[in-house]
Structure 1
Amino acid sequence: MKKNKPIREVVLMVEDKYGGEFFKRLVNELNKSEFLNYKIVFSKVRGQRNPIHMPYICNKKMEKQIKAVDDLVKPDKIIIILDGDKNQGKYQQNIDKAKKHIPKNIKTPYSIVVFDYEVEEWICISLNIKWSSKPSDALKSKFKYKKQHLSNYVDKLDFNKLKGIKSFNDFINALNN
């Protein structure tokens, strides 16, 4: 018999327009797995969907959103998810850039997860697809992939293959810690 896990409320802030549904489905799958120490639920954010889509995530709007979530929603954790494809390979630089937009006085713990390229890298790794420029380009050529179908690929993720990927481990750690 499975032991009930304690519940943890999170707010996800994602850069990708279609990432919200992808991460919702992903968290639902992870909740069924042994990867998480908690049952993750998405906090209610008045007037917004959670995950929150933040175009150009490092900007003043992001700071206001984080402050509002911290003041009004008070989740257990805020998780900010960034693509790295415009600044690929510069992990710490991307983290430092994002941290500049975190209000100094927030009380809610937060984590920042940065992809080397974009979330599609998890799909490519899971399906053993190599890419030369961007993972999404490799998916387009192999499957006629379109961004709006991103959430349909959650069931193709191989968590065991992703265990060795920094961004996946960072995401799991953000949910667990």
Structure 2
Amino acid sequence: MSKSREIVIITEDAYGGEFFKRLLSRLRTEGLTDTRLKKLSGRKNPIHAPYLCNSKLGKILRASELVRPDFILLVYDGDGPSNYESKKKDVEKHIPRNLKIPVKILLFEYEIEEWVCKSLGYSWSTKPSDELKRRERYTKSKLPEYADKLDFEKLKRNCKSFREFLRILGD
């Protein structure tokens, strides 16, 4: 495990903040990371930044820089393998060039619910959240609860975006 670090997470998903807070707590408890969320004054960390083409993202990044985290992690949906590269470029172009703190990007192949589906052994035909709705009456507001149901061993074996997340935390 790498040295203890403090980060800021910015996620496009409104319920992703609480999900990642719970996830990082579990990862620390299970000895998979020592990364913590940096305390921010006046706002929650993780931060919700609703959509990319919004000047708010640049402002949030600059404000996050003031607390001097080790890095800032942007978390966005990839919306499917065929959109992954264009979505990554789209995220990158919205990061101001003159930031002094490193910004790392975690892009899901589809969306955050892919971790839940892969942990529960579900496959999907359209998108993971649709499969969860079909099988579990899932709603976005329930996302944080699913942080407790993630199977880290399955995800390390079968999920590229989860392995990338662990790599980012360990870099």
| Matched residue, 1:107 | 100
SS at match of 2:94: coil
Q: 1:77 aligns with which of 68, 71, 75?
A: 71
Q: Do the aligned partners of 2:77 and 2:109 also contact (CA within 8 Å) in 1?
A: yes
Q: Which amino acid aligns with 1:166?
A: K
Q: How many residues align?
A: 170
**Which moves more between the two structures, 56-65 or 145-154?**
56-65
Instruction: Give the 5 Å matches for 1:51-66.
Output: 51-66=46-61
Distance 1:145 1:90 in 2: 25
Q: 2:87 aligns with which of 72, 94, 100?
A: 94
Residues 105-153 of structure 1 deviation map (CA, whole Å, 9 limit, x = unaligned)? 1111121011111110111011111111111111111111111011111
Superposed CA RMSD: 1.6
TM-score, normalised on structure 1? 0.90
1:27 aligns with 2:24: yes
Question: What CA distance in whole angstroms lies between the structure 2 residues aligned with 1:78 and 1:20?
Answer: 14
Distance in 2 (CA, whole Å) between partners of 1:58 and 1:74 is: 25
Q: How far, CA to CA, are the matches of 2:52 and 2:36 in structure 1? A: 22
How many Å separate the matches in 1 of 2:123 and 2:91? 29
Amino acid in the other structure paired with 1:31: R
1:42-87 per-position Cα deviation (integer Å, ceiling 9, x unaligned): 11222210000010134321011111211x11101100000122x6
The residue matched to 2:9 in structure 1 has which SS? strand
Cα contact 1:27–1:40 (8 A) shared by 2: yes
Aligned residues of 1:45 and 1:73 also touching (Cα < 8 A): yes
Please state if 1:120 is matched with 2:108: no
Query: How many Å separate the matches in 2 of 1:127 and 1:100?
Result: 35
Contact map agreement 1:14 1:57 (CA 8 A) in 2: no
Matching residue within 7, 13, 16 for 1:16: 13
* Aligned-partner Cα distance in 2 for 1:144–1:43: 34
Asked whether 1:175 is paired with 2:145, we answer no
- Aligned positions of 1:146-165 closer than 5 A: 146-163=139-156, 164-165=158-159
Q: Which runs of 5+ in 1 are unaligned?
A: none
- Give 3-state SS (helix, strand or coil) of 1:133's partner: coil
- TM-score scaled by length of structure 2: 0.93
Q: Which runs of 5+ in 2 are unaligned?
A: none
Give yes or no for contact 1:131–1:138 (8 Å, CA) kept in 2. Answer: yes
Q: 1:35: Cα distance to partner?
A: 2.6
